[in-house]
Structure 1
């Protein structure tokens, strides 16, 4: 397993503090944490949940944090969390994710996660399985009811307990007590600790360089035109060589004539080669298991079973050697844009047993496309199109588009983080950012402003799909308006956050207010809020007991509101 150092511990603390500061700039704590360590601990929750739940909206993540101390500081509610610090219900993959966090204030190299923490959490697991929320309060009670509802549905759901800490050594998942816990509760137990977390931190890596020797019959060259001197290559590459060129050891990466494969048995993945990969941190999945199975069962056929990998490099050099029978290739500053799961799984498989490198990996081959380009727009398109056939969300694919990258750069100039992927804390680590907003949030805001506040929440999944070209078209969206749109969003959000307790605070209300102000820019945001709340109170539509959230998705509600807007 990858090890972690005190420097990894310090870098994580810096990142966690940045998350806390970003959240506190747009949210009011009832009692602000009195020391930096507590701020780091709360920021740790945001960072981990964003990475493991694929949810970039840190304001929304706060709704899933059930930790007693956190909610006491944020909303002055000190309810027992029963050993579960966060609950996230993922309707896309049908998984109930329970989190037990441990944030240590000092680094101890030999400190391991405690299996006792897993058993502390079983009280809440029992509440869910027994369909009994008696004794639970506040946010936790509502989330448990939601979990019970999902388990009682006709869909197949899984439940996972994530044991997360900034300690150096994980729980032994094969330990008898943990194994019994998995069997008794029919629940996965996943351990995440500092060595895993270091791979999740978005820190721009130093350029990675490697060298290869390829047989002529295992290589196909490609150039954009007959007069181009810039060549790209399609290569049939040995899996052991893939381990070598992506490992942390620069000497081995450049040792193209490495003959003793067993020296690679203890080498680990340099996550720097995956910095630009479309996927965030990926835990072990059914795809990883399938890759491992095909490696073990039939390594010689792995080439046929696997989709391969795509590498982009800013500089490539190729020369004929060995009487023109082989080609020596040097790739400098390269990234694996597609095939990240394959790469991770190859390294994980290699780490399981010393003999795997010689018994299986050295007998397996992978199709690798190596594109030579320093043009960022071309790189983004390669990443988008080579990933488009896989199970990747439309949001992740669009995050690679030139427009979204330009948006990120523009907003960075206005001290706003435009989060295109999990773990984003800004282009410049030294900058003091004012806000963080995710691509999904911004898409919802634009969709609302352009006339669809009633659809901006319940059709969120289509914003970066079938509606994308219309929403982000030049006719409907001027990129230079983006900073002011985001400023307005946080202004309205702050107004709602500081309003009376009797007003339901729902994000869709912010979308409606922005839409109303766009229709009638002569009306203040405060008046728009007052007008919206009044309309919600009066709207009945023949149905009693409708929540504000349900009212706002009714077509009739927006029509009535439009009439009132034009009468003011």
Structure 2
């Protein structure tokens, strides 16, 4: 049974997209500001979807990869043909060239399906990339295609994917003959993402999820921090069908610990509220997920040994012996799946594939589940960070669970600033009017620059939440109370460059330098720092070679030259 989407999902998505646009527009300068709400929602749709599917949380950088003709005409007053591709993202970590075709419908129509014709419209640009030629392309698109061609010409193995994005309720069938021929001819994966998938990506703070379980004594081990503690946690061997039940949308079934008709679970779908605090974002397709499904079908009785299990934290856990002390009845209140989200999604997806799967396979499979009593939020953060640290998760995602980063989110929220710790964040309070949105990565780069490393803020950003993290965010280098003013200054300086013809990435590097310069020369105001940087950049010509400003600014020699000009040496 395929997931479905309603008109309410459509309306909620529009609200979220409008919010995304408004947040981005506060820090950007549109040459022609769009007045119609539907246009704002459409442009916000681009920003939200690209943040969710690309390895990027910085809305400025996301805007830089949007090639849609209409969007760029409003943003820069330049109109270039997008050749059927609305965005192009190059993921150097996963070696994937991601092409995006967007379709944004203004009205909801039940049963409306994505058009497969849109996939064929995009093939002109795919041909340009595969043939190694950017002839006839203009503007942003030309530069992005040239970057893609450069990657394909390297010795690394690259994958090309076409993402068909729309807010329609029914996806195209990517296995239909015409799409399959397209995939085979271009050696390109075609991925459909529409409203049913998108609604699982929307961060809407959930109502508390409550469930009850009956566990055999020999399938359970209790744990408490000390001998006098009344707060206990549990490690249990849980049937996969029970996992489906306690994480489904039906509250009656979640609390029906004695569910005898297991087949009724075949129609139940996951309540994504239990994954709200999960470190991993939306995963469209994964070899890991495929392996889980394969092991479920081929050897369900051994699934327990093949899977790493799940970690659940609950605000309250109650346990009482029943059936003459042979079993334990456990009530878990307001719980979240912090680790094992992919396992949980795949169990539900496998359940949805065939009504017989719940009885034939899932009821014969077991999973190791850790249920922690974590009424203390700091404990929850630590559990999430440490139980995820053994898996392939980025340093940024791991650090997003740290107490300091959550404190930053709370502090900045008080100043009407969204501190985006994960994809899809639109603030802690849906009713609040926020002034700015900034990602963890952006803020880390800003601090790194202020602390004396503007030349490393762009090209070594992957290490900011790795080997440099403890220094950057240490109490000796970083005063958390200064965070709001630092962010306000960042956006004020950025606005000063909005009329420039440089790319946004180049502007961002300049902002890092301005913040650094003001820190080392507080006698210079921000405008004076801007003037000095623009004066010094043309003077720096190492070995008489011609370098762009962007390349100059990543060199240590340029920072040293700037320091000399500022009379710091």
Deviations 1:120-175 (A, max 9, x none): 11111111111122211111111111111111111111111111111111111221
- The aligned residue for residue 215 of structure 2 is 214
Q: CA contact under 8 A between 2:55 and 2:91: conserved in structure 1? A: no
Instruction: Tell me, in whole angstroms, the C-alpha distance in 2 between the residues paired with 1:560 and 1:501.
Output: 22
1:268 equivalent in alignment to 2:253: no
Instruction: Tell me, in whole angstroms, the C-alpha distance in 2 between the residues paired with 1:502 and 1:233.
Output: 53
Instruction: Tell me, in whole angstroms, the C-alpha distance in 2 between the residues paired with 1:503 and 1:202.
Output: 27
1:140 equivalent in alignment to 2:141: yes
Q: CA contact under 8 A between 1:496 and 1:505: conserved in structure 2? A: no
- The aligned residue for residue 409 of structure 1 is 410
- The aligned residue for residue 64 of structure 1 is 65
Matches for 1:297-446 after TM superposition, within 5 Å: 297-446=298-447
1:21 equivalent in alignment to 2:25: no
Q: 1:86 to 1:501 in 2, by over 3 A?
A: closer
- The aligned residue for residue 496 of structure 2 is 495
Deviations 1:414-453 (A, max 9, x none): 1111000000011111111111100000000000000111
Q: 1:295 to 1:275 in 2, by over 3 A?
A: same
SS state of the match for residue 456, structure 1? Answer: coil
1:50 equivalent in alignment to 2:51: yes
SS state of the match for residue 567, structure 2? Answer: helix
User: 1:504: how far off?
Assistant: 9.2
Unaligned ranges ≥5, structure 1: none
Instruction: Tell me, in whole angstroms, the C-alpha distance in 1 between the residues paired with 2:433 and 2:492.
Output: 19
- Of stretches 554-563 and 199-208 in structure 1, the one that deviates more from structure 2 is 554-563
- The aligned residue for residue 249 of structure 2 is 248
User: 1:339: how far off?
Assistant: 0.2
SS state of the match for residue 319, structure 1? Answer: strand
- The aligned residue for residue 282 of structure 1 is 283
Q: 1:139 to 1:338 in 2, by over 3 A?
A: same
- The aligned residue for residue 163 of structure 1 is 164
Instruction: Tell me, in whole angstroms, the C-alpha distance in 2 between the residues paired with 1:442 and 1:384.
Output: 20
Q: 1:69 to 1:272 in 2, by over 3 A?
A: same
Instruction: Tell me, in whole angstroms, the C-alpha distance in 1 between the residues paired with 2:28 and 2:449.
Output: 22
Instruction: Tell me, in whole angstroms, the C-alpha distance in 2 between the residues paired with 1:367 and 1:520.
Output: 57
| Deviating 4+ runs (over 2 angstroms) | 498-506
User: 1:550: how far off?
Assistant: 1.5
- Of stretches 548-557 and 47-56 in structure 1, the one that deviates more from structure 2 is 548-557
Deviations 1:55-85 (A, max 9, x none): 1100110000000100111111111111110
Q: CA contact under 8 A between 1:419 and 1:436: conserved in structure 2? A: yes
Instruction: Tell me, in whole angstroms, the C-alpha distance in 2 between the residues paired with 1:185 and 1:259.
Output: 50
Instruction: Tell me, in whole angstroms, the C-alpha distance in 2 between the residues paired with 1:436 and 1:21.
Output: 10
SS state of the match for residue 514, structure 1? Answer: helix
- The aligned residue for residue 237 of structure 1 is 238
Q: CA contact under 8 A between 2:64 and 2:503: conserved in structure 1? A: no
SS state of the match for residue 327, structure 1? Answer: strand
Deviations 1:94-143 (A, max 9, x none): 11111111111011111111111111111111111111222111111111
Q: CA contact under 8 A between 2:60 and 2:504: conserved in structure 1? A: no
1:183 equivalent in alignment to 2:166: no
Instruction: Tell me, in whole angstroms, the C-alpha distance in 2 between the residues paired with 1:483 and 1:544.
Output: 40
Instruction: Tell me, in whole angstroms, the C-alpha distance in 1 between the residues paired with 2:147 and 2:329.
Output: 58
Instruction: Tell me, in whole angstroms, the C-alpha distance in 2 between the residues paired with 1:112 and 1:554.
Output: 51
Instruction: Tell me, in whole angstroms, the C-alpha distance in 1 between the residues paired with 2:129 and 2:26.
Output: 35
Q: CA contact under 8 A between 2:61 and 2:504: conserved in structure 1? A: no
SS state of the match for residue 328, structure 1? Answer: strand
Instruction: Tell me, in whole angstroms, the C-alpha distance in 2 between the residues paired with 1:564 and 1:501.
Output: 24
Q: CA contact under 8 A between 1:54 and 1:422: conserved in structure 2? A: no
Q: CA contact under 8 A between 1:497 and 1:505: conserved in structure 2? A: no
Instruction: Tell me, in whole angstroms, the C-alpha distance in 2 between the residues paired with 1:185 and 1:321.
Output: 61
Instruction: Tell me, in whole angstroms, the C-alpha distance in 1 between the residues paired with 2:151 and 2:501.
Output: 33
RMSD: 1.4
User: 1:505: how far off?
Assistant: 4.2
Q: CA contact under 8 A between 2:29 and 2:75: conserved in structure 1? A: yes
User: 1:500: how far off?
Assistant: 6.9
Instruction: Tell me, in whole angstroms, the C-alpha distance in 2 between the residues paired with 1:251 and 1:175.
Output: 39
SS state of the match for residue 88, structure 1? Answer: strand
Q: CA contact under 8 A between 1:262 and 1:357: conserved in structure 2? A: yes
Deviations 1:33-56 (A, max 9, x none): 131100000000000000000311
- The aligned residue for residue 9 of structure 1 is 10
SS state of the match for residue 278, structure 2? Answer: coil
Instruction: Tell me, in whole angstroms, the C-alpha distance in 2 between the residues paired with 1:494 and 1:342.
Output: 44
- The aligned residue for residue 450 of structure 1 is 451
TM-score normalised according to structure 2 size: 0.98
